[in-house]
Amino acid sequence: EKFLPKTSASFSTNSYDAFIVPNTLNLSSFTKLLKKLQEIHPEASRDRIVDALLEVRKNNKGILSGLSINSIVRRTSEIL
């Protein structure tokens, strides 16, 4: 009996890739959230903002859903 070689799924270390979901509504919300945070924190790079968003998600049991946009902005701003 022949076995196929094991292959591992590719993993991106890019935090932006880890945050994106295929749902268009979520992508739109993410884009608006990112734009708002860039306006509030012009000194922060896009990558730094995404890292802070990921930290907010991690601190909220791995999800952002259920949090208001204002709450996400406030928590992210505290990290930045």
Compute the distance between CA of residue 58 and CA of residue 71 in angstroms, rounded to an integer: 15
What is the per-residue pLDDT across 12-57, written as a single tens digit (0 to 9) for each?
A: 444 444 444 444 446 688 888 999 999 999 999 999 999 999 999 9
Cβ–Cβ < 8 Å for 39, 49 = no
Q: How confident is the model at residue 66 (pLDDT cuts 50, 70, 90)?
A: confident
Instruction: Name 37's Cβ contacts closer than 8 Å, sequence gap at least 6.
Output: 44, 49, 52, 53, 73, 76, 77, 80
Report the SS3 class of residue 16: helix
* Helix, strand, coil in percent for the chain, rounding step 5: 60, 0, 40
Write down the pTM of the prediction.
Answer: 0.65
Domain ranges of the chain: 27-78
Structure token pair of residue 46: 């896009």
